[in-house]
Amino acid sequence: MIRKKILVTGGAGFVGSHLCERLLNEGNEVYCLDNYFTGQKQNVVHLLKNPYFEMIRHDVTEPIFLETDEIYNLACPASPVHYQYNPIKTMKTSVMGAINMLGLAKRINAKILQASTSEVYGDPLVHPQPESYWGHVNPIGERACYDEGKRSAETLFVNYHQQNNVDIKIIRIFNTYGPNMNPHDGRVVSNFIVQALQNQDITVYGEGNQTRSFQYVDDLVEGMIRLMNSRDGFYGPVNVGNPNEFTILELAQKVIELTGSKSKIIYRPLPSDDPMQRQPDISLAKKELDWYPKVNLDEGLIKTIEYFKGVI
Ligand code: NAD
Ligand code: UDP
């Protein structure tokens, strides 16, 4: 077995922590880089007993010099609450982070994967969304710092590939949930579970008829690793998400049912530019990666509820 050296930026975050663990379990040496803006040391501290795991406090908006074989670039706050807290910093993280990590990949000849997002499709007018859809993003709206930052990062990845031969992979991740989400993360699954477990009101934004397609984190990590190891010359972008689509109201009802909570559903204003519908077309992931999601919403929610019972 070859022990690869792998850098995971944003490694102390929700997705990054699962990815670090999986890569370590596969026998690799893993460098977990994070500035701890939304990530938490406790997500990865149990990995420190493995001598092949290292934590690096660093901000991707600054250059860094390391020797690795692969880079997974995940650093970026993902919850609207956190990415809108300092929109300029969010944009810098996506754009300067991409430039710094691509520059590093070029210098050390590493393969590099970008964690892009379904948000590149904005409030989509095509449903479900294939990778060929260019999207419907408001460039000056509240979500623009994230959406346009991620779109620019995709552009930079493709430009570094075409101009400098950097070996790239781009994954477009759809709404993902699971253990290690921060209880204060602000995204819908963690909010609803935390509210339900405390018998607090469940806050549905708008009328709750907007839809999302929820993917369990283990399925995502499998898709990321398959894409990193996909055939030479294929870089995507490729959608990775669970096509089972639910309204936000259905999600609230499911969480109440699975937790046995006494919570009531209350309605709050819908944030501006909140996409009305979202569902991945995963034909490309099936064809190129032989990947499809294995965990259904009930199974994944039960595991996530168990996790949150332990942290709140
Ligand atoms: P998260 O907020 O839990 O993790 C992001 C991590 O990046 C955190 O540990 C944070 O501290 C770190 N970080 C932020 N800015 C940084 C900076 N400037 N320098 C270094 N570290 C920094 O979010 P997540 O859900 O784990 O998302 C991981 C990646 O996947 C993000 O790039 C996100 O955009 C992408 N993504 C996630 C989802 C999802 O549903 N979880 C969907 C689409 C895309
Ligand atoms: N949402 C909600 N209540 C909450 C948090 C979010 O109704 O407490 C809604 C939000 O308006 C959106 C959906 O749930 O329509 C998903 O929101 P999230 O922030 O998880 O992800 P994104 O909008 O980025 O897909």
Write out the residue range of the structural domain in which residue 133 sits.
5-179+215-241+279-294
For ligand 1, whether the C-beta of 179 sits within 6 Å is: no
- What pLDDT is attached to residue 2? 85
For ligand 1, whether the C-beta of 14 sits within 6 Å is: yes
- What pLDDT is attached to residue 294? 98
For residue 241, report the phi and psi dihedrals to the nearest 5 degrees. -170, 170
For ligand 2, whether the C-beta of 248 sits within 6 Å is: yes
Average pLDDT, the chain: 97
Residues whose CB falls within 8 Å of the CB of residue 39, separated by 6 or more in sequence, listed in order: 10, 11, 12, 13, 14, 16, 17
Q: Whose CA is nearest to atom 6 of ligand 2?
A: 188
Three-point CA angle 159, 163, 165, nearest 5°:
100
Condensed to tens digits (0 to 9), the pLDDT of residues 196-228 reads 999 999 999 999 999 999 999 999 999 999 999
Which helix (H) or strand (E) is 204 found in, with range? strand 202-205
Within-domain flag for 165: yes
- Examine the pLDDT at 305 and tell me if it is beyond 90: yes
Atom of ligand 1 nearest to the CA of 15: 26
For ligand 2, whether the C-beta of 215 sits within 6 Å is: no
Within-domain flag for 193: no
- What pLDDT is attached to residue 184? 94
Which among 64, 88, 95, 72 is positioned nearest to 10, based on CA atoms?
72
For the stretch 55-64, what's the b/e string if a residue is b when 16 or more beta carbons lie within 10 angstroms of its beta carbon? beebbbbeeb
Within-domain flag for 129: yes
Atom of ligand 2 nearest to the CA of 78: 24
Within-domain flag for 25: yes
Ligand 2, pocket-test mutation among 143, 188, 297, most atoms within 8 A of CB: 188
Within-domain flag for 47: yes
- H helices within the chain, ranges in order? 14-25, 80-83, 87-108, 144-164, 188-197, 217-228, 248-259, 283-289, 297-311
For residue 177, report the phi and psi dihedrals to the nearest 5 degrees. -140, 165
Q: Whose CA is nearest to atom 23 of ligand 2?
A: 274
Please give the tally of structural domains in the chain: 1
pTM score above 0.95: yes
> Do residues 53 and 24 make contact, with C-beta atoms less than 8 angstroms apart?
yes
Q: 146 catalytic, yes or no? A: yes
- Examine the pLDDT at 47 and tell me if it is beyond 90: yes
Q: Predicted confidence band at 120 (pLDDT cuts at 50, 70, 90)?
A: very high
| Ligand 2 midpoint to CA 75 (Å) | 21
Within-domain flag for 190: no
CATH of the domain at 61: 3.40.50.720
Condensed to tens digits (0 to 9), the pLDDT of residues 60-89 reads 999 999 999 999 999 999 999 999 999 999
Atom of ligand 1 nearest to the CA of 16: 26
Within-domain flag for 22: yes
Ligand 2, pocket-test mutation among 248, 250, 297, 301, most atoms within 8 A of CB: 248
Q: Predicted confidence band at 238 (pLDDT cuts at 50, 70, 90)?
A: very high
Return the ligand number nearest the Cα of 90.
1
Within-domain flag for 206: no
